[in-house]
């Protein structure tokens, strides 16, 4: 269950996007669909939300949203470049005006040198704007990292729309 504050964020983002006639898709790895779940928990979200891709495995990232195999091999799944390609691929494949992506290490395992537990990259590809990618290192356990990722992704989308 997501915190009420996150559902409020989702409500606000949906209202903003609906007012502007925008549509949205997600491409999620470490959250396993929680961003889409937060958005679709809101009644009426179908006027904005078009699709959600859960691309947990590298092969899914490649096949479903077009992340280049070369990018995965060179940079690893948890990278700015993969988050960018996930967002851009989801936007293109779903035919939406904005797509959010996330890839990270929710823990408790999976950390490598330079990539600690809690490291998450969140992407936002918006029609008519440069794709934004943010790097975060969220504290806490797996649930906390995933919840923080959802909140940060919704915030990034809202800032992207309001800023441009």
Q: How far apart are CA 63 and CA 61, in angstroms?
A: 6
Q: What is the pLDDT of residues 37-46, one digit of tens each?
A: 999 999 999 9
Report whether pLDDT(164) > 80. Answer: no
Q: Are 28 and 52 in contact (CB under 8 A)?
A: yes
Q: Where are the domains of the chain?
A: 4-163
Percent of the chain with pLDDT over 70: 99
β-strand partners of 134: 122
Torsion of CA 81, 124, 77, 69, to 10 degrees: -60
Class of the CATH domain delimited by 4-163: alpha beta
Tokens of residue 84, six digits: 């960018």
Report the pLDDT value the prediction gives residue 106, as an integer from 0 to 100.
97
Q: Give the pLDDT confidence of 111-163 residue by residue, as tens digits.
A: 999 999 999 999 999 999 999 999 999 999 999 999 999 999 999 999 999 98
Tens of pLDDT, residues 44-93: 999 999 999 999 999 999 999 999 999 999 999 999 999 999 999 999 99
**Average pLDDT of the segment spanning 84-104:** 98
Which residues, including other chains, have CB under 8 Å from residue 81's CB and lie 6 or more apart?
71, 74, 75
Measure the CA–CA gap between 70 and 94, rounded to whole angstroms. Answer: 23
Tokens representing residue 35 in the block: 């961003």
Mean pLDDT, residues 102-109 taken together: 97
User: Which residues, including other chains, have CB under 8 Å from residue 143's CB and lie 6 or more apart?
Assistant: none
The predicted pLDDT at position 2 comes to 82
């Amino acid at each position: 269950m997501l915190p009420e504050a996150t559902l409020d964020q989702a409500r606000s983002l949906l209202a903003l996007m609906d007012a502007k006639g925008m549509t949205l898709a997600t491409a999620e790895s470490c959250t396993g669909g929680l961003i889409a779940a937060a958005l679709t928990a809101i009644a009426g979200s179908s006027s904005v939300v078009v699709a959600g891709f859960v691309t947990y495995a590298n092969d899914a990232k490649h096949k479903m949203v077009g992340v280049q195999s070369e990018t995965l091999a060179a940079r690893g799944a948890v990278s700015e470049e993969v988050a960018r390609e996930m967002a851009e691929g989801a936007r293109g494949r779903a035919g939406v005006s904005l797509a959010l992506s996330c890839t990270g290490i929710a823990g408790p395992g999976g950390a490598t040198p330079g990539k600690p537990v809690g490291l998450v990259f969140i992407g936002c590809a918006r029609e008519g704007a440069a794709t934004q990618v943010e790097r975060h290192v969220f504290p806490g356990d797996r649930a906390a990292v995933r919840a923080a990722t959802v909140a940060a992704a919704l915030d990034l989308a809202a800032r992207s729309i309001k800023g441009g």
